Amino acid sequence: MVSDGRAVAQTAHVADIMQLVDRMEELITSGMRVPLSNRIMVEEEEFLSIIDQLRLSVPQEIKQARRVVQERQQIIGTAQDEAAKILSVAKERAEYLMNEQGLINEAKSRSEEILRQAKDGSKRSMGEVDVYALQILTQLEQTLQQNLQQIQQAKSVVGR
């Protein structure tokens, strides 16, 4: 059965473990020495009270440590999930750009073929229609080159 002093210790505020150890050390250093021995006499009630407070504090400290570990694991899990999402988005973007690069190369080769044909046609006849077609194809080529440069820049950003 717990004595009255020990019951009060259980209902008192749970003290920090280091403070309780300091109090225990203080109690021992202020205790009376037993003559002709290395023993020290201390106040039993006060010493038992400190032990009871330690018993109450240790589970609190363990609970707090477990809580910190759980929070840490949640943070790590969230970070890993976020990293996986970022990698997934980057892979999708890279695949998109690679597919787009293939389309652009095809469009470029087609436009070069059309441009060549238009140049051949313009040599044969320098009529207004041929001149207009040449201007449009040149603009198309410039636009495709600009798009190609933008894709190459995006590829270099993704490739880092």
> What is the per-residue pLDDT across 98-136, written as a single tens digit (0 to 9) for each?
676 766 777 787 888 888 887 776 666 666 666 677 788
* pLDDT value, residue 160: 67
Question: Stretch 28-41: mean pLDDT, rounded?
Answer: 89
What are the pLDDT digits (tens) for 84-107?
Answer: 999 898 888 777 766 767 667 777
* pLDDT value, residue 97: 67
Cα separation, 113 vs 132, whole angstroms:
17
Question: Stretch 35-47: mean pLDDT, rounded?
Answer: 89
Whether pLDDT at 14 is above 80: no
Question: Stretch 130-149: mean pLDDT, rounded?
Answer: 81
* pLDDT value, residue 26: 92
Assign 6 a pLDDT band (cuts: 50, 70, 90): very low
107, 144 Cβ separation under 8 angstroms: yes
Tokens of 85: 């999402």
52, 9 Cβ separation under 8 angstroms: yes
104, 151 Cβ separation under 8 angstroms: yes
Cα separation, 89 vs 82, whole angstroms:
11
* pLDDT value, residue 124: 66
* pLDDT value, residue 143: 85
* pLDDT value, residue 8: 42
Where in the chain are the domains?
4-158
What are the pLDDT digits (tens) for 43-82?
Answer: 889 989 988 888 887 777 787 888 888 998 999 999 899 9
